[in-house]
Amino acid sequence: MHISEGVLSVPVIAVGWGTALAGISIGLKKTPVHTLPETALISAVLFLASLVHVPLGPSSIHLTMLGLAGILLGWSAVPALFIALLLQSMLFQFGGLLSLGVNTTVMGTAALSAFGTWRFFSGRKGGPQRLLMTGTKPAAAFIGGFLAVITGSILVTLSLFLSSRDLFSTATLMFAANLPLAAVEGVITAFCVVFLQRMLPHYVFGSANLGGKNPKKF
Protein backbone atom coordinates (compact mmCIF):
# COMPACT_ATOMS: atom_id res chain seq x y z
CA MET A 1 0.00 0.00 0.00
CA HIS A 2 2.99 2.29 -0.35
CA ILE A 3 2.30 4.68 -3.20
CA SER A 4 5.53 5.77 -4.82
CA GLU A 5 6.72 9.28 -5.59
CA GLY A 6 5.64 10.97 -8.80
CA VAL A 7 2.44 8.95 -9.20
CA LEU A 8 -0.23 11.03 -7.48
CA SER A 9 -1.67 14.30 -8.74
CA VAL A 10 -1.18 17.54 -6.80
CA PRO A 11 -4.83 17.76 -5.61
CA VAL A 12 -4.73 14.18 -4.29
CA ILE A 13 -1.43 14.86 -2.51
CA ALA A 14 -2.83 18.04 -0.95
CA VAL A 15 -6.00 16.32 0.30
CA GLY A 16 -3.92 13.43 1.60
CA TRP A 17 -1.65 15.68 3.63
CA GLY A 18 -4.56 17.68 5.03
CA THR A 19 -6.38 14.55 6.15
CA ALA A 20 -3.21 12.97 7.51
CA LEU A 21 -2.28 16.00 9.60
CA ALA A 22 -5.80 16.11 11.04
CA GLY A 23 -5.63 12.42 11.94
CA ILE A 24 -2.17 12.77 13.48
CA SER A 25 -3.35 15.73 15.56
CA ILE A 26 -6.35 13.79 16.90
CA GLY A 27 -4.19 10.74 17.53
CA LEU A 28 -1.61 12.71 19.51
CA LYS A 29 -4.32 14.29 21.65
CA LYS A 30 -5.61 10.81 22.47
CA THR A 31 -2.15 9.48 23.35
CA PRO A 32 -1.11 10.26 26.95
CA VAL A 33 2.61 10.33 27.68
CA HIS A 34 2.51 7.14 29.75
CA THR A 35 1.21 5.16 26.75
CA LEU A 36 4.07 6.12 24.42
CA PRO A 37 6.01 2.85 24.96
CA GLU A 38 3.04 0.78 23.79
CA THR A 39 2.45 3.08 20.84
CA ALA A 40 6.14 2.96 19.89
CA LEU A 41 6.09 -0.84 20.08
CA ILE A 42 3.18 -1.10 17.65
CA SER A 43 4.87 1.47 15.39
CA ALA A 44 7.93 -0.80 15.27
CA VAL A 45 5.71 -3.76 14.37
CA LEU A 46 4.16 -1.75 11.54
CA PHE A 47 7.63 -0.78 10.33
CA LEU A 48 8.88 -4.37 10.27
CA ALA A 49 5.73 -5.86 8.75
CA SER A 50 6.31 -4.04 5.46
CA LEU A 51 9.98 -4.95 5.00
CA VAL A 52 9.07 -8.03 2.96
CA HIS A 53 6.97 -6.71 0.12
CA VAL A 54 6.11 -7.58 -3.48
CA PRO A 55 6.32 -4.63 -5.91
CA LEU A 56 3.15 -4.10 -7.94
CA GLY A 57 3.25 -1.15 -10.34
CA PRO A 58 3.52 2.11 -8.38
CA SER A 59 2.63 0.34 -5.15
CA SER A 60 3.27 -3.01 -3.43
CA ILE A 61 1.53 -5.75 -1.47
CA HIS A 62 2.81 -6.91 1.91
CA LEU A 63 1.67 -7.65 5.43
CA THR A 64 0.37 -4.46 7.02
CA MET A 65 -0.84 -5.37 10.55
CA LEU A 66 -3.21 -2.41 10.25
CA GLY A 67 -6.09 -4.30 11.83
CA LEU A 68 -4.03 -5.20 14.87
CA ALA A 69 -2.76 -1.62 15.20
CA GLY A 70 -6.29 -0.24 15.02
CA ILE A 71 -7.69 -2.69 17.56
CA LEU A 72 -4.87 -2.16 20.05
CA LEU A 73 -4.27 1.58 19.63
CA GLY A 74 -7.43 3.18 18.26
CA TRP A 75 -6.68 6.77 17.15
CA SER A 76 -3.12 6.46 18.42
CA ALA A 77 -2.47 4.19 15.44
CA VAL A 78 -2.42 7.21 13.09
CA PRO A 79 0.71 8.92 14.50
CA ALA A 80 2.28 5.48 15.00
CA LEU A 81 1.72 4.75 11.32
CA PHE A 82 3.09 8.13 10.28
CA ILE A 83 6.39 7.49 12.07
CA ALA A 84 6.68 3.99 10.59
CA LEU A 85 5.92 5.23 7.07
CA LEU A 86 8.30 8.17 7.39
CA LEU A 87 11.18 5.89 8.39
CA GLN A 88 10.34 3.40 5.64
CA SER A 89 10.37 6.20 3.07
CA MET A 90 13.64 7.69 4.26
CA LEU A 91 15.54 4.44 4.89
CA PHE A 92 14.19 2.06 2.25
CA GLN A 93 12.35 4.28 -0.27
CA PHE A 94 9.06 2.47 0.45
CA GLY A 95 6.69 5.17 -0.76
CA GLY A 96 7.65 8.80 -1.27
CA LEU A 97 7.83 11.82 0.99
CA LEU A 98 5.29 13.75 -1.11
CA SER A 99 2.93 10.76 -1.08
CA LEU A 100 3.49 10.23 2.66
CA GLY A 101 0.33 12.16 3.49
CA VAL A 102 -1.80 9.96 1.25
CA ASN A 103 -0.13 6.79 2.52
CA THR A 104 -0.75 7.87 6.12
CA THR A 105 -4.38 8.70 5.34
CA VAL A 106 -4.92 5.39 3.58
CA MET A 107 -3.39 3.23 6.30
CA GLY A 108 -4.67 5.36 9.16
CA THR A 109 -8.23 5.10 7.88
CA ALA A 110 -7.76 1.36 7.42
CA ALA A 111 -6.59 0.98 11.02
CA LEU A 112 -9.50 3.06 12.30
CA SER A 113 -11.94 0.91 10.33
CA ALA A 114 -10.65 -2.10 12.25
CA PHE A 115 -10.98 -0.20 15.53
CA GLY A 116 -14.58 0.75 14.74
CA THR A 117 -15.43 -2.77 13.59
CA TRP A 118 -13.95 -4.29 16.74
CA ARG A 119 -15.99 -2.02 19.00
CA PHE A 120 -19.17 -2.52 16.97
CA PHE A 121 -19.10 -6.31 16.93
CA SER A 122 -17.93 -6.54 20.52
CA GLY A 123 -20.97 -4.57 21.61
CA ARG A 124 -19.13 -2.64 24.30
CA LYS A 125 -18.14 0.94 24.95
CA GLY A 126 -14.68 2.05 25.97
CA GLY A 127 -11.27 1.51 24.45
CA PRO A 128 -10.24 -1.78 22.82
CA GLN A 129 -7.89 -2.45 25.74
CA ARG A 130 -10.91 -2.91 28.03
CA LEU A 131 -12.18 -5.56 25.65
CA LEU A 132 -8.87 -7.38 25.80
CA MET A 133 -9.27 -7.70 29.56
CA THR A 134 -12.91 -8.74 29.61
CA GLY A 135 -13.06 -11.17 26.71
CA THR A 136 -11.86 -11.33 23.14
CA LYS A 137 -14.08 -12.19 20.24
CA PRO A 138 -11.87 -13.80 17.56
CA ALA A 139 -14.52 -13.24 14.86
CA ALA A 140 -14.54 -9.51 15.57
CA ALA A 141 -10.74 -9.41 15.40
CA PHE A 142 -10.76 -11.34 12.12
CA ILE A 143 -13.32 -9.01 10.57
CA GLY A 144 -11.35 -6.01 11.76
CA GLY A 145 -8.10 -7.29 10.22
CA PHE A 146 -9.86 -8.27 7.00
CA LEU A 147 -11.71 -4.98 6.67
CA ALA A 148 -8.56 -2.95 7.32
CA VAL A 149 -6.86 -4.37 4.23
CA ILE A 150 -9.99 -3.98 2.11
CA THR A 151 -10.44 -0.37 3.24
CA GLY A 152 -6.81 0.45 2.54
CA SER A 153 -6.96 -1.21 -0.89
CA ILE A 154 -10.07 0.74 -1.84
CA LEU A 155 -8.48 4.04 -0.80
CA VAL A 156 -5.25 3.29 -2.69
CA THR A 157 -7.28 2.34 -5.78
CA LEU A 158 -9.30 5.54 -5.49
CA SER A 159 -6.16 7.67 -5.02
CA LEU A 160 -4.54 6.21 -8.14
CA PHE A 161 -7.71 6.50 -10.20
CA LEU A 162 -8.29 10.14 -9.21
CA SER A 163 -4.68 10.96 -10.06
CA SER A 164 -4.78 9.45 -13.53
CA ARG A 165 -7.29 7.36 -15.46
CA ASP A 166 -4.30 5.58 -17.01
CA LEU A 167 -3.64 3.96 -13.62
CA PHE A 168 -7.05 2.25 -13.54
CA SER A 169 -5.71 -1.15 -14.66
CA THR A 170 -2.89 -1.01 -12.10
CA ALA A 171 -5.29 0.05 -9.38
CA THR A 172 -7.69 -2.79 -10.22
CA LEU A 173 -4.86 -5.34 -10.23
CA MET A 174 -3.61 -4.11 -6.87
CA PHE A 175 -7.07 -4.35 -5.32
CA ALA A 176 -7.52 -7.91 -6.59
CA ALA A 177 -4.06 -8.91 -5.30
CA ASN A 178 -4.94 -7.65 -1.83
CA LEU A 179 -8.08 -9.77 -1.48
CA PRO A 180 -6.26 -12.97 -0.39
CA LEU A 181 -3.96 -10.82 1.76
CA ALA A 182 -7.04 -9.50 3.58
CA ALA A 183 -8.00 -13.02 4.63
CA VAL A 184 -4.45 -13.75 5.81
CA GLU A 185 -4.35 -10.52 7.81
CA GLY A 186 -7.70 -11.34 9.37
CA VAL A 187 -6.38 -14.69 10.63
CA ILE A 188 -3.14 -13.13 11.92
CA THR A 189 -5.04 -10.34 13.69
CA ALA A 190 -7.41 -12.79 15.38
CA PHE A 191 -4.49 -15.00 16.47
CA CYS A 192 -2.51 -12.07 17.90
CA VAL A 193 -5.45 -10.66 19.84
CA VAL A 194 -6.36 -14.06 21.31
CA PHE A 195 -2.70 -14.71 22.16
CA LEU A 196 -2.36 -11.38 23.95
CA GLN A 197 -5.46 -12.01 26.00
CA ARG A 198 -4.39 -15.49 27.06
CA MET A 199 -0.70 -14.84 27.66
CA LEU A 200 -0.72 -11.22 28.88
CA PRO A 201 -4.19 -10.65 30.37
CA HIS A 202 -2.98 -7.83 32.61
CA TYR A 203 -0.82 -6.07 30.05
CA VAL A 204 -2.94 -3.50 28.27
CA PHE A 205 -2.08 -1.99 24.93
CA GLY A 206 -3.51 1.31 23.74
CA SER A 207 -4.38 2.91 27.07
CA ALA A 208 -4.36 6.20 25.15
CA ASN A 209 -7.98 5.48 24.34
CA LEU A 210 -8.89 5.54 28.01
CA GLY A 211 -8.10 9.22 28.22
CA GLY A 212 -5.13 8.63 30.49
CA LYS A 213 -6.89 6.50 33.12
CA ASN A 214 -5.04 3.66 34.72
CA PRO A 215 -6.15 0.49 32.86
CA LYS A 216 -5.47 -1.66 35.92
CA LYS A 217 -8.62 -0.25 37.51
CA PHE A 218 -10.81 -2.17 35.10
pLDDT at residue 131, rounded to an integer: 43
Could you give all domains of the chain from N- to C-terminal order, each with its CATH number? 10-203 (1.10.1760.20)
DSSP secondary structure, 188-210, as one string = HHHHHHHHHHHH-TT--S-GGGG
pLDDT digit string, tens, across residues 136-174: 478 888 999 999 999 998 998 888 888 877 777 777 777
Check: CB of residue 2 under 8 Å from CB of residue 52: no
Amino acid 211: pLDDT: 37
Angle between helices 138-163 and 10-29 (to 10 degrees): 150
Question: Are 95 and 9 contacting, i.e. CB atoms less than 8 angstroms apart?
Answer: no
How many angstroms separate the CA atoms of 185 and 166, rounded?
30
Whole-Å CA distances, 58 to 6, 13, 84, 144, 182: 9, 15, 19, 26, 20
pLDDT of 86 reads 92
pTM for this prediction: 0.80
Q: How confident is the model at residue 46, as a pLDDT? A: 87
Q: Which residues of the chain have pLDDT under 50?
A: 126-136, 203-218
Query: What's the confidence (pLDDT) of residue 84?
Result: 92
DSSP percent split of the chain into helix, strand, coil, nearest 5: 75, 5, 20
